Structure 1
Amino acid sequence: MGKTFFTMLMDAGLHRELKILAVENGVSMRCLIERGIGIILDREKKENEFAKRGV
């Protein structure tokens, strides 16, 4: 069975840091990760739009 993104982060040793960030921001780790992925995808989308415009 394939590993989930969450499992890969755990294997990379980021579990402790993610847990601290989640507690500091008052959200669950899953929410924190999903929000982070959303930010990354939004940034990529904006960069692609700028590239199409030739900016």
Structure 2
Amino acid sequence: MAPRPTALAMVALHRLVVLIGILLMPIAVLARKAGITLPVHRVIERVDDEADQSAD
């Protein structure tokens, strides 16, 4: 059976968010040294949860 379009879209979105998180890592490290915390982990967790739910 072919995957649903929503499931494919969620997987693509998950991979895009992870890629953005990886690309922003140097900025996040510098911000943390300056005392600023970026909430990137919240976005990744939310997209990961949605991708898991759409895969079921």
TM-score bracket, normalised by the shorter chain, equals 0.3 to 0.5
Normalization by structure 1: what TM-score?
A: 0.43
Normalization by structure 2: what TM-score?
A: 0.43
